[in-house]
């Protein structure tokens, strides 16, 4: 769950996946939703109200193919700001292998 001390920073997310990987992911918050369209393609700005946390639910599939490399979730402030945007303790991302 990300949170910010002021409205300004907000958050954006993206996944870094190996070449040849098929990715079909989307995200949902209480106020908005979107599609993560490819390797390191940002979600764009996801709003966070000042002094509140939001839940971002990410769901979908990643088909790895023959690559054994890592899939990485990247996140950053949408707007550079001295006030932090933090991923709060207890946040998690889970994955299940489908054979």
Residue 19 placed within a domain: yes
Q: At which residue do the structure tokens 């207890």 appear?
A: 90
pLDDT reading at 80 higher than 60: yes
5 and 85 Cβ atoms separated by less than 8 Å: no
Q: What is the pLDDT of residues 34-74, one digit of tens each?
A: 888 777 788 888 888 877 788 889 999 888 877 678 888 99
- Tell me the pLDDT band of 83, cut-offs 50, 70 and 90: confident
As for how many domains the chain has, the answer is 1
Residue 64, domain member (yes or no): yes
The domain of 75 spans 2-87
For residue 29, pLDDT over 70 is answered with yes
- Asked, for residue 92, whether it belongs to a domain, the answer is no
């Amino acid at each position: 769950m990300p949170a910010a001390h002021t409205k300004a920073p907000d958050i954006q997310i993206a996944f870094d996946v190996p070449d040849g990987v098929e990715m079909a992911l989307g995200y949902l918050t209480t106020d908005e939703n979107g599609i993560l369209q490819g390797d390191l393609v940002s979600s764009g700005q996801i709003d966070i109200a000042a002094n509140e946390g939001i839940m971002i639910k990410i769901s979908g599939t990643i088909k790895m193919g023959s690559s054994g490399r890592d899939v990485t979730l990247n996140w950053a402030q949408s707007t550079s700001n001295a006030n932090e945007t933090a991923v709060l303790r207890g946040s998690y991302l889970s994955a299940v292998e489908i054979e």
